[in-house]
């Protein structure tokens, strides 16, 4: 029996299309350099400290811990998300966010002997400004999307807060490439929950066997897609080892490497 043709390609966002970790690190670095100029703190040490304090506040003091876990909002993303939307937990996070951001930086400053709420607020705002200005896309992304669109439907499936993830897509100039964008907070469940994959496939009107998930996470993207009957391409940009039990249809280090594999299964311009 011939292999089912590909009707849809579904892409993950963070660290598959956009450089999330490096962008966040650059924004932290810029804010920490400001602290270094103001009070002589070591930028690297402060960076490590603020990541620790924001993680602790996020996981132990957030007013919407369960919701944030369900939709996959990370502690460092919460440092710049607007938390827009009608969900009651988003309203809680929206109201708490200014204090969370200030206290994350204030806690880090105090670990280094600096007790200055005004500086903490300034650093929190600096991080937001620098992170919002950074929407870095991997070099292979636009050429691949240009090559692939038109041959089949393209979609984006990402965990996180809806406003934040859509801002990343728009800021990176990627919105025009996608027929559908589904963010975990849109429906209240995150990858690898089968429901988010099934919701997107229903919107695309595509059978699971005719869809391919492309992502960097072995658990969320690859195993999540396989669990609903989709094909899966593991975009392993950093060359990490594959975990036991993780199976994919193709492993690549860049999107350029999968175009030929896709081209044999769909019509690519």
**Using an 8 Å Cβ cutoff, are 257 and 265 in contact?**
no
Domain locations in the chain? 8-18+136-263, 20-132
- pLDDT tens column, 130-170: 999 999 999 999 999 999 988 899 999 999 999 999 999 99
The mean of the pLDDT values for the chain is: 95
Stated pTM of the model? 0.93
d(CA 83, CA 93) in angstroms, rounded, equals: 7
> Do residues 247 and 226 lie in contact, with contact meaning Cβ atoms separated by under 8 Å?
yes
Q: What is the spatial distance between Cα 79 and Cα 95, in angstroms, rounded to a whole number?
A: 13
Separation of alpha carbons 181 and 163, rounded Å: 12
Question: Which of residues 34 and 3 earns the better pLDDT score?
Answer: 34
| Cα–Cα distance, 21 to 18 (Å, whole number) | 9
CATH tag, 8-18+136-263: 3.40.50.1000
The answer to whether 179 and 205 are in contact (CB under 8 A) is no
Q: What is the pLDDT of residues 193-235, one digit of tens each?
A: 999 999 999 999 999 999 999 999 999 999 999 999 999 999 9
pLDDT band for position 107 (cuts 50, 70, 90): very high
């Amino acid at each position: 029996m011939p292999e089912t043709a590909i009707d849809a390609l579904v892409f993950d966002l963070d660290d598959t299309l956009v450089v999330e970790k490096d962008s966040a690190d650059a924004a932290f670095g810029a804010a920490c350099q400001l602290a270094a100029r103001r009070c002589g703190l070591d930028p690297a040490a402060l960076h490590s400290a603020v990541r620790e304090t924001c993680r602790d506040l996020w996981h132990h003091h957030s007013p919407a811990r369960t919701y944030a876990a369900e939709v996959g909002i990370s502690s460092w993303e919460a440092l710049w998300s607007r938390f827009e939307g009608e969900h009651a937990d988003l309203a809680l996070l929206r109201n708490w966010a200014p204090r969370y951001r200030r206290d994350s930086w204030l806690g880090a400053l105090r670990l280094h002997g600096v007790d200055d709420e005004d500086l903490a607020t300034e650093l929190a705002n600096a991080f937001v400004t620098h992170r919002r200005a950074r929407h870095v896309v991997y070099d292979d992304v636009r050429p691949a999307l240009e090559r692939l669109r038109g041959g089949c439907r393209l979609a984006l499936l990402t965990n996180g807060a809806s406003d934040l993830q859509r801002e990343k897509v728009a800021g990176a100039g990627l919105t025009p490439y996608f027929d559908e964008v589904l963010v975990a907070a849109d429906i209240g469940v995150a990858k690898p929950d089968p429901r988010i994959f099934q919701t997107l496939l229903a919107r695309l009107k595509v059978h699971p066997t005719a869809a391919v998930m492309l992502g960097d996470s072995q658990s969320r993207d690859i195993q999540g897609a396989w669990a609903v009957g989709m094909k899966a391409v593991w975009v392993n940009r950093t060359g990490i080892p594959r975990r036991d039990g993780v199976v994919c249809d193709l492993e690549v280090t860049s999107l350029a490497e999968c175009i030929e594999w896709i081209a044999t299964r769909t019509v690519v311009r």
